[in-house]
Structure 1
Amino acid sequence: MTQPASSAPTWRADPLAWGHGPRVFEVFLEPTCPYSVRAFGKLDALLDTAGADKITIKIRLQSQPWHMYSGVIVRCILAASTLPGGKESAKAVMAAVAAHREEFEFERHCGGPNMDATPNDIIARLERYSGLALREAFAIPGLDTEVKWHAKYARQNGIHVSPTFMIDGLVDPKISSGDEVAAWAERLR
């Protein structure tokens, strides 16, 4: 999604899609959710197993308010997609969160050391762990249109929790983050 043609586009958020096959596997993830982290960790293996010419994997970001810094982190991921490297930069930020999840989450969703963290602290951690300069991209006017698009798309598809999985536009409740990659690949045949 880019800015409307009426304004001079100065940035572009790279779609979070890998592969180019006809079967579309959409994964709705909240970056700090442990189950989403588990699902995210399997996506590269799924693409390798099922074949990039057979499937397309699309990550949809599902910000959830009980994950207290969810909105900040989702915006950082989308900001990273505007940087050189596009979707791979966004993936690096997601991988940084996954590798250090406890530094971006609250204990029992309401306590712990992150009670003293600010959004600037969270951005600085993501920059340190991902190796990407995110602060300027985070502040892009209009980047909220990308955040809103992800939220709207999830709502339009009746998705409220993460991870949720869709195959060719239909939610598949039988897929779980705990499944083996081979089981996912089988459902995509």
Structure 2
Amino acid sequence: MALAPKFAGQRFTAINAPALHTLELYLDYVCPYSAKMFNTIYSSVLPLIQQKYPSKVQILFRQQIQPWHPSSTLVHEAAVAVLKLEPGKFWEFSKALFDDAQSFYDVNVVQETRNQTYSRLAKVAAKVGLDEKEFLKLLWINDKPASDGSLNIGNAVTNDLKVLVKMNRLVGIHVTPTVIFDGVVDNSISSSFTGQQWEEWLEKNVA
């Protein structure tokens, strides 16, 4: 599936050149299996691609909201805010968010308001060098109706989030993580893949 320019921060390429193959990772920030896969990708696979396959494969991070965890929407909104403020920080922010993900799991957000959760997410953004106030401004929900009386006012990232949801619905992704390779779901890839297993998979499918 194509990637809109405003979501360019979701793409990882080792060099600025067309890639022959595309790995799409459908991940949810509050899914422990997504965290497991992302951490291996981040620490082992990205450096491997830079070293061995810089012009042969690209990776797309597809944000997959899992709505049975209400905070999933909020953490993905935070990632969209990063895409708006500083796209080049998207992967670094995602690493920081996955590292702190358990603090946004159900039992750790149930007693706080939506804006309180956003405030904690802004602290995560600050860890990777984003302006905390500007970041929070994109997420904050006013408790007053809009000038036209509307009560579902959303925030400054709502429209972009809607686009991401529409894109994922087009391909019918349900489970996280899900990996699509060159347009086809590859169920052989597990969240438990080690760096070595990823290296073997890439050698077989990309080299």
Same fold (TM over 0.5): yes
Does residue 122 of structure 1 match 2:117? yes
TM-score by length of 1: 0.81
Query: Corresponding residue for 2:145?
Result: none
Instruction: Indicate the residue corresponding to 1:159 in structure 2.
Output: 173
SS in 1 for 2:59: strand
1:64, 1:15 → 2: CA distance? 21
How many aligned positions are there? Answer: 173
Alignment of 1:9-158 (within 5 A): 12-19=6-13, 20=17, 21-44=19-42, 45-50=44-49, 51-84=53-86, 86=87, 88-106=88-106, 112-131=107-126, 132=130, 133=132, 134-138=135-139, 143-158=157-172
TM-aligned CA distance change 1:164 to 1:137, over 3 Å: same
What is the CA–CA distance in structure 1 between the aligned matches of 2:204 and 2:165, rounded to whole Å?
26
2:9–2:90 contact (8 Å) kept in structure 1: no
Gaps of 5+ in 2: 141-153
Q: CA RMSD in A?
A: 2.2
Report the Cα offset of residue 100 of structure 1: 1.3
State percent identity of aligned pairs: 25
Q: CA deviation at 1:39?
A: 1.3
Higher helix share: 2
Q: Which whole-Å CA distance do the structure 2 matches of 1:68 and 1:185 have between them?
A: 35
Question: Structure 2 vs 1, CA of residues 183 and 68 (structure 1 numbering), >3 Å: closer, same or farther?
Answer: farther
| Residue in 2 that maps onto 1:188 | 205
- Describe the SS at the equivalent of 2:54: coil
TM-score normalized with structure 2 length: 0.74
Q: Please identify runs of 4+ aligned residues in structure 1 that moved more than 4 A.
A: 139-142
From the CA coordinates, give the structure whose radius of gyration is larger. Answer: 2
